[in-house]
Amino acid sequence: MKEQKSIPVTKAERSAKFVKTGFQIGGNYIKHYSKKLFNPDLDREQLNEDNATDIYKSLSELKGSALKIAQMLSMDKNILPKSYVDKFTQSQYNAPPLSGPLIVRTFTKSFGKTPENIYDSFNLSSTNAASIGQVHQATLNGKKLAVKIQYPGVGDSISSDLKLVKPFAFRLLGMSERELNIYIKEVEERLLEETDYELEVKRSIEFSEACKNLDNVVFPTYYPELSGKRIISMDWIEGLHLKEFLKTNPSQELRNKIGQALWDFYNFQQHELRAVHADPHPGNFMITPDEKLGVIDFGCIKEMPEDFYNPFFSLISTDVIQDKAKTIDAFRKLDMIHTDDTPTQIEFYYKSYKEMIELFAKPYINASFDFSKNEFFEKLYEYGEKIAKMPEFKQARGVKHFIYVNRTNFGLYTILHDLKATVKTDTFKPSL
């Protein structure tokens, strides 16, 4: 893939990039409607394809929060047209990497030394480039290391980038202004944490220590002395990303083993730590040669406060959902039913959200669950599409914690579906 020699860093440069992309999209619409004059039956597939290509190209050059949002949206498969999902999924694995001179400059700024003066060997070509940083291979004292380097300007441009992304998000997501503001604010908080590599090293060490007794889950060792604000050094974990792993045609037994490790990893954190690795895209996991799940990124952590955790998990793990008054009370605590709702609205939202919770909770209801079943996912997507068309859901509902907790759980479900795994779901239960 072609290397990128510079990144637009200043607000003016980044803003200009968005404006240019806006013009390109405007041009795509003009082209689409001109063709439609001669062919009234023309669908929007080519328009979506052109827009997705232009937006992805622009975001991948800007890197950072703009590209991260594309990555998040690609995981919410029922939000976007397929062409956007296909294009944005690339940001999970292979954004264009930065050139060697930019890498050396980042090291010199951070440590006052070039990579050659820090490691025994350092490969200037990256092995993996994503939305916030890229990974290089290095060696030191006979150990193979993964060195993650943050793109220049990413941390400083989050707030201004998100303001620039807003019109695109507004058009793509069809959210109300208030809902979009809540979404953007929560995303901004997490991204500010995610670009703080010193915080990531601290959390990575804490979480890998807390999760070290889980079966078949492994973590790299982190090196704080070789890490800084924009650079993280850790052990290199050998293995295959999920896509590559599935191409090897693994046995059902192995799929279940990896699926179980993933389920336990997430549910142990949710229920024992009340904080969770909130970035479950396949690029963050490796399947090692000895058939274990390697977790290689703790940049995004979502903490779950008591006043969210208790009402939310009481709905999916106890008989609360069978009791209408208790369910409505939990919905109120979670801001899914508002204080000024009329009796008709209360009834409408009660029924709609009950249907959603009962769907979401299916894996938790029995002692094991087969994630290969298409009908479960079809029902989830159908429900998502149904409420997306309802005017009653155009206004914001639900506390902000849903954004990342839903993303985490649906991301987990999707990976387990890709694995076609059957897992024991009663290993770590909600503790209320």
- Rounded CA-CA distance 184/299 in Å is 18
Q: Which of 61, 49, 45, 81 is nearest to 4 (CA)?
A: 61
pLDDT score of 91: 43
Give how far the C-alpha of residue 10 lies from the chain's centroid of Cα atoms, to the nearest Å.
26
pLDDT at 333: 96
Supply 19's token pair: 């404006």
Give the contacts of 335 (CB within 8 A, at least 6 positions apart). 397, 398, 399
DSSP codes of every residue in 356-410: HHHHHTHHHHSSEEETT-HHHHHHHHHHHHHHHT-GGGSS--S-THHHHHHHHHH
Condensed to tens digits (0 to 9), the pLDDT of residues 215-262 reads 999 999 999 999 998 899 999 999 999 989 999 999 999 999 999 999
- Reported as a pLDDT band with limits 50, 70 and 90, residue 92 is very low
What pLDDT is attached to residue 74? 45
Tell me the C-alpha distance between 418 and 412, whole Å. Answer: 10
Residue-wise pLDDT tens digits, 116-138: 999 999 999 888 776 678 899 99
Span 297-317, pLDDT tens digits: 888 899 999 999 999 999 987
pLDDT above 50 for 69: yes
pLDDT at 148: 93
Residue range 203-222: average pLDDT?
96
- Location of each CATH 3.30.200 domain in the chain: 96-129+132-154+195-236
CATH architecture for segment(s) 96-129+132-154+195-236: 2-Layer Sandwich (3.30)
Task: State phi, psi for 274 to the nearest 5 degrees.
Answer: 55, 30
Question: Among the listed ranges 209-213, 372-376, 392-396, which one has the minimum average pLDDT value?
Answer: 392-396
What are the Cα distances from residue 340, in Å, to 9, 178, 336, 346?
Answer: 45, 17, 12, 9
Tokens 């997507």 belong to 381
Residue 206 and residue 322: Cα distance in Å, rounded?
38
Please, which pLDDT band fits residue 68 given cuts at 50, 70 and 90? Answer: low
Task: Give the pair of three-digit tokens for residue 33.
Answer: 């409607």
Three-state secondary structure call for residue 10? coil
Cβ-proximal residues to 164 (8 Å cutoff; 6+ apart), any chain? 14, 15, 18, 66
| Residue 355 buriedness (CB in 10 A; 0-12 / 13-18 / 19+) | middle
Looking at residue 192, what is its pLDDT? 84
Express each pLDDT in 316-368 by its tens digit: 877 889 999 999 999 999 999 999 999 999 999 999 999 989 988 999 888 99
